[in-house]
Structure 1
C-alpha cells in the first residue's frame, strides 16, 4: 500500500511538472535552435518582455535569383543575417484551450530586417551574382515545438526588398523552417 501511494504521488508530481513546462506563461527568455530545413542556420531568440522576443539568425537561406541579362531564374544557397522582433499574442488563449506553449509555441506578428549576401555557397549553373539583397517588412507567423525539441516555424508577410542594380520593390515574403532546439 505504501509503495502504491508513493508511486501515485510521484506520478502526480511528475505530471504536474510536465504540465507546468508545457503551459508556462510568457515567452522563453533564451532559446537557441539549429534550423535544418530548408537551409541550415542558427537562430537565437531571447525574451525582451512577457510576450515579445528578438530573434537573431545567421546561416544560409535557400533563394531564387534572376539573371538580368538572360532573364533566367536560378536557385541557390546564400549567406543570411536576420534580426526580427516578434510579438506573441495568443498565449493565454492557447493555455485556456489546454494547448502547448512550451518553447514559444504560439502565433506572432513582427518586423524583420535581413541581409542576403550575393556570394552564393551553392548555386545552380554556377552563375556570378553581384547584388546583395536587403529586406525589411512586416510578418505574421507561428512556431510550434513538438516532442520538447523539434521546432516548426512559418512566416508570411510583405517586405521592401532592395538590391543595387535593380533598386527597391515591395514583394511578398514567405519563410518556413524545421529545426531542433538546443537550449
Structure 2
C-alpha cells in the first residue's frame, strides 16, 4: 500500500520533468499554462492518494497551527501535533519542542478506539467531511474534520467530555508519508 502511494507521486512528479526540456522555447504565457496543467495533474494524483487513504482509514492530519475555542492560534511543529487514524485506532497528540510533559514530547498523547467513522464527500467540489467518535482510558473524543480534495488544506476540531476544544489546521497525508513522532500515550 505504501509503495502504491509513492509510485503515484513519483509518476506525477516525473511527468513535469519531460515538459521542462522545451521550456526555454516557450513564452511566459505558455510557461504559466504549462505550470497550471502540471499543478492540476499533481493535485489530481494527490486527490486519488488521499481518497484511498481516507477510505482505508490510514492517514494523518499534521497540524501546523493550533487554536482554542476562543480563536487564539499558535504555530506548532507538525511532527508533534497531529491526529493519526490507523484502521480502528486514533492517536491524538499535542506537543512542543520543550519535551516537558507526560508524553515525553511536551504535551499530551491519547490512544483511542474508534467507535464511529463517517466520511461524507462533496462530489461537485471533492471536499471531505469526516466525523470520528472515539473512546479512550481518559474519556471520549468527538473529532470533526474538513478537508479540500487533495488534503493540502484541512482543519479538525477535537472536543472531549468537557467544554475543552482544540482546533488543528494543517494537511492530511497517508500514514506512509507521515513524519510524525508519537509520544507515550496516557494510559
Q: TM-score range by the shorter chain?
A: 0.3 to 0.5
Whichever structure has more helix as a proportion of its residues is: 2
Give TM-score scaled by structure 2 length: 0.44
Greater fraction of residues in strand: 1
Higher Rg of the two aligned structures: 1
